[in-house]
Amino acid sequence: MGLAGLPDMRPVIYIISDSIGETAELVARAAASQFNHGNVDIRRVPYVTHPEEIPEIIEEARGFPSIIVFTVVLPELRETLLREAARHDIPAVDIMGPVMAALSRVTTATPKLEPGLMRKVDEEYFRRVEAIEFAVKYDDGKDPRGITQADIVVLGVSRTGKTPLCMYLAHKGIKAANIPLVPEVPPPEEIFNIPPHRLIGLVIDPGKLLSIRRERLRTLGLPADADYANQERILKELAYAEEIMRRAGCSVIDVTNKAVEETAGRVLEIYYRGKRYAAETS
């Protein structure tokens, strides 16, 4: 005979959650592995958000030697679940409740009682990681295919801070690619089809750029009078870049003496404002 006088049956663990139930299932599987090689059925019931749903789940669980493992944050749901499980003598294990109660004793913060917060945090983390990998892969025009996949494409001559900007945006979960503008190399045609709010051009004072490039050559141990740091060459590059930006119709930001955080803030303002406008007019 099995549990509570029932014939031998495979035990069932019901995973009940107001989100997807991953946390409760991990705990249940870890515990079950200690008994008969984890030979149990695990039935996940996700997105339970109303007390009215509980009796039906309990009624099904009554037909098996079962236990309930749950993660719910709403007090009304938890109370209903514990009450109904006790009424039918079904063991119920609250994964979240005791930990939240303990935390409430040592912090002045109030719990948000919002289902699925952990999943939202995980999704945000992985979105940032994906954006960082994207920024590395499509840095400095390495692969033009990134242009069509990017949330934001950054244009500019060398040493205008395109790469640091893209990495900063990536940490905000924004996929950013950057394209260097060089007079001798035609830009990818794809940039002329990108909406203005997703295409950002960076410009800079010629004197400031000259100083930055000379310092760059110095750190590399190269002659300071190289064409890369020649004032006439810099003026030519900037004029060419501004013409490309004008043709592409992109938003232009002067990065002279601006910190990357300041530039990124302006980029995000342009991006989200344009995104909202596109959504409203579509």
Q: Is the pLDDT of residue 256 over 50?
A: yes
pTM, two decimal places: 0.61
Q: Specify which residues 68 forms β-bridges with.
A: 14, 92
pLDDT at 122: 57
pLDDT at 238: 97
Band of residue 19 on the pLDDT scale cut at 50, 70, 90:
confident
Q: Is the pLDDT of residue 17 over 70?
A: yes
CB 202 within 8 A of CB 212: no
Q: Is the pLDDT of residue 7 over 50?
A: no
Q: Is the pLDDT of residue 215 over 70?
A: yes
pLDDT of 63-83, one tens digit each? 889 999 998 888 888 899 999
Band of residue 272 on the pLDDT scale cut at 50, 70, 90:
very high
Q: Specify which residues 202 forms β-bridges with.
A: 253
pLDDT at 133: 92
What angle do the packed helices 260-281 and 162-170 form, to 10 degrees?
Answer: 60
pLDDT of 108-123, one tens digit each? 877 666 665 555 555 7
Q: Is the pLDDT of residue 184 over 80?
A: yes
Buried b (16+ CB within 10 A) or exposed e, 12-50: bbbbbbbbbbbbbbebbeeebeeeeeeebebbbbbebee
Largest Cα separation within the chain, whole Å, is 93
Band of residue 3 on the pLDDT scale cut at 50, 70, 90:
very low
As given in the structure block, the two tokens for residue 270 are 């342009």
Buried b (16+ CB within 10 A) or exposed e, 209-227: bbebbbeebeeeeeeeeee
Band of residue 2 on the pLDDT scale cut at 50, 70, 90:
very low
Q: Specify which residues 66 forms β-bridges with.
A: 12
- The pLDDT mean for the chain works out to 88
Band of residue 1 on the pLDDT scale cut at 50, 70, 90:
very low
pLDDT at 5: 46
Rg (CA), the chain: 29
CA dist 252 and 229 (Å) reads: 23
Residue 176 CB-half CA count within 13 A: 27
Which residues have CB under 8 Å from 221's CB, separation 6+? Answer: none
Instruction: Reduce the DSSP state of residue 243 to 3 states and report it.
Output: helix
